[in-house]
Structure formats: structure tokens, C-alpha cells
């Protein structure tokens, strides 16, 4: 059985502008993950460079920073068994043109530079990204949900 993990998910400025915050949250809730942290913020260029540090030097980097800082973003932490891979599967392929129907990117968007949502790609990036956006005290892992025994054995 997969271990309980935390993953960082964000609705990017295009998703906020398009009124898709509720839709994105609904998909993670419906899948059975538990929301343990949530905030809205405007990402600064330095925060963007920290978050997307692995992409510094790539041709799309400047455009990516411009986009991610262009409006409010909704940052979240979701918890559950195998949450990191599960969230990536809910989100779909990086390029929406290749994203499967039923995924957020496969259902809601068309272009790689406007792909609505971010999700951590592994355990290291999950803990790094969570600590960039949240203090430990802002995460409410301790709350229990009555439905959890119906989601996980």
C-alpha cells in the first residue's frame, strides 16, 4: 500500500482568471485527497525563480516567470496515500495537447504555456515546493475526515 504523502498543487494565473479554482479543487476532493493547506498569493519574480529553479536557462523560462507572476495563484497542499503520483495523474501531461481526456489539462486547456495547474513531480520537489509556499504551522494535517475510512482501507 502506498505511503501517505503530501504534494504541492497550484492553480496558475490562467486557471484563476478563467474561474477554474473550484473545478480544480473539486477534482482533487472527489479523487479522495485531503486538503491541508490553501492560500492565494501573487508570485514575485524571485519566488518564481525559486519554485522553477530547475528550468533556469531553458528557452521558455522568461515566459514562464512572466506568466506565473502575471496574476493571483492559488497554492495548495494535498495529502493522501501516494498523493504525489496521484495528483500528477489527475493533472495530466505537461502539454495539454497530449493530456488524456479526464485529466485537468486534458479537459480544460490547450497550450503548454497556459496549462492551468502545477503539481510536484516527486518527493523531493514536493517537500521543497511545500516549504517555499507554506510554513509548517499553515498545514493542518491533523484534521480527520469521516469519509477517509471510505476512501482508504
Q: Which does 112 bind (CB under 5 to 8 A by kind): Mg ion, ligand DAT, none?
A: ligand DAT
Phi-psi region of 116 (alpha: psi -120 to 50; beta: other; left: phi over 0): left
Pattern 6-45, ligand DAT, x by CB under 6 A: ----------------------------------------
Part in contact with ligand DAT (CB under 6 A); list of ranges 31-39, 107-115, 132-140, 145-153: 107-115
Q: Decide if 34 contacts 145 (C-beta within 8 A).
A: yes
Q: Is 55 a catalytic residue?
A: no
CB 32 within 8 A of CB 152: yes
User: Any contact of residue 118 with ligand DAT (CB under 6 A)?
Assistant: yes
Report how many residues bind Mg ion under the rule CB under 5 A.
1
Q: Is 95 exposed, middle or buried (0-12, 13-18, 19+ CB in 10 A)?
A: middle
Nearest CA among 136, 147, 100 for reference residue 6: 136
Residues 98-137 that bind Mg ion (CB under 5 A): 121
Size of the site for ligand DAT (CB under 6 A): 9
Assign 101 to helix, strand or coil. Answer: coil
- Give the separation between CA 91 and CA 26, rounded to whole angstroms: 12
State how far the Cα of 14 lies from the Cα of 29, in Å rounded to an integer. 21
* Residue range at the interface with ligand DAT (CB under 6 A); choices 1-9, 79-87, 109-117, 134-142: 109-117
> Which residue, 22 or 83, is less far from Mg ion as judged by CB?
83
Which cell numbers in the block locate residue 57? 536557462
Candidates 100, 113, 140, 148; binder of ligand DAT (CB under 6 A) is 113
Binding site for ligand DAT (CB under 6 A): 55, 60, 64, 94, 112-113, 115, 118, 121
Residues recognised as catalytic? 118
Amino acid at each position: 500500500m502506498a505511503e501517505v504523502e503530501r504534494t504541492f498543487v497550484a492553480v496558475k494565473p490562467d486557471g484563476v482568471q478563467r474561474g477554474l479554482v473550484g473545478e480544480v479543487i473539486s477534482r482533487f476532493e472527489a479523487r479522495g485527497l485531503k486538503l491541508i493547506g490553501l492560500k492565494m498569493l501573487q508570485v514575485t519574480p524571485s519566488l518564481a525563480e525559486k519554485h522553477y529553479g530547475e528550468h533556469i536557462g531553458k528557452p521558455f523560462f522568461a515566459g514562464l516567470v512572466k506568466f506565473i507572476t502575471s496574476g493571483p495563484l492559488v497554492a495548495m497542499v494535498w495529502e493522501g496515500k501516494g498523493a504525489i503520483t496521484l495528483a500528477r495523474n489527475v493533472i495530466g501531461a505537461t502539454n495539454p495537447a497530449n493530456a488524456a481526456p479526464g485529466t485537468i489539462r486534458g479537459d480544460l486547456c490547450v497550450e503548454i504555456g497556459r496549462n492551468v495547474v502545477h503539481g510536484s513531480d516527486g518527493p523531493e520537489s514536493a517537500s521543497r515546493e511545500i516549504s517555499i509556499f507554506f510554513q509548517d504551522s499553515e498545514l493542518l494535517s491533523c484534521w480527520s475526515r469521516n469519509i477517509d475510512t471510505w476512501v482508504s482501507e
